[in-house]
A = this chain, B = another copy of it.
């Protein structure tokens, strides 16, 4: 497969659409069996478990691509979220309050699937919205 920046961008957009549909059965079309996330070798099933748990804590979770930078085999995305996490999120008690935050995340693809993820969520932004503990 010849991977161009635009074909890889399209593949990434299809992955995000899959997440937003909660189409967990399709996740293997986009994510490698041996995927690693922030240094943890989750594998596809562990990665799916992580995403399912995220959507249980945050039922209104929706991934919005604010910025996409593609240079095969890497994709870098700035994701924007406006959602209401139940209970605890990033070690903070959100208790269903509406918050906005971003994630800056890098992906390395192996062929046409995500093999490695390096993600950082903007915890400082969430803290500012929640105010003093």
Contact residues of A with B, CB < 8 Å?
5, 67, 69-71, 74-76, 78, 90-91, 102-106, 118-124, 127
Number of copies: 2
Q: Which residue of B lies closest to A119 (CB)?
A: B104
Say yes or no: A124-B76 contact (C-beta < 8 A), given A67-B106, A70-B69, A106-B104: no
**Contact A102:B123 (CB < 8 A) given known A67-B74, A71-B71, A76-B69:** no
Contact among B78, B119, B121 for A106, CB-based, below 8 A: B78
Contacts of A119 in B (CB 8 A): 104
Chain A interface, DSSP helix/strand/loop, else mixed = strand
Bound CA–CA A123/B101 (angstroms): 14
Contact of A70 among B67, B71, B91, B121 (CB under 8 A): B71
Q: In the assembled complex, how far is the CB of residue A99 from the closest CB belonging to chain B, in whole angstroms?
A: 15
A118:B102 contact, CB within 8 angstroms:
yes
Q: How far is the CB of A55 from chain B (nearest CB, A)?
A: 20
